[in-house]
């Protein structure tokens, strides 16, 4: 998969949980577009990394705090 989608590394040594999403013309997530990009390498399809949870910041593990505490941090 990394052959088709560029990756980045966090300079702060942070880790997030999320997913790759391809959006259709109306702005809705569209699974077939993501498949076309990842499986077939169609680079004209834009893919966005959507983070929905922070697991680690500057090497400090936040998973132990629980979802409710991480949402407030």
SS3 63: helix
Structure tokens at 46: 């834009």
9-18: average pLDDT? 71
pLDDT tens-digit map of 19-73? 999 999 999 999 999 999 999 989 999 999 888 777 777 666 666 666 666 665 5
Task: Between 5 and 39, name the one with better pLDDT.
Answer: 39
Q: How many helices (H) and strands (E) would you count in the chain?
A: 2, 3
When pLDDT is averaged across residues 8-16 and rounded to a whole number, the result is 67
pTM above 0.85, yes or no: no
**Cα–Cα dist 40/38, whole Å:** 6
pLDDT score, position 55 = 74
């Amino acid at each position: 998969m990394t052959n088709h989608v560029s990756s980045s590394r966090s300079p702060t040594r942070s880790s997030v949980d999320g997913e790759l999403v391809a959006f259709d013309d109306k702005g809705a997530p569209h699974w077939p577009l993501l498949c076309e990009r990842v499986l077939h390498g169609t680079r004209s399809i834009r893919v966005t990394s959507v983070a929905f949870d922070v697991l680690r910041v500057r090497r400090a593990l936040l998973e132990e705090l629980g979802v409710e505490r991480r949402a407030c941090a």
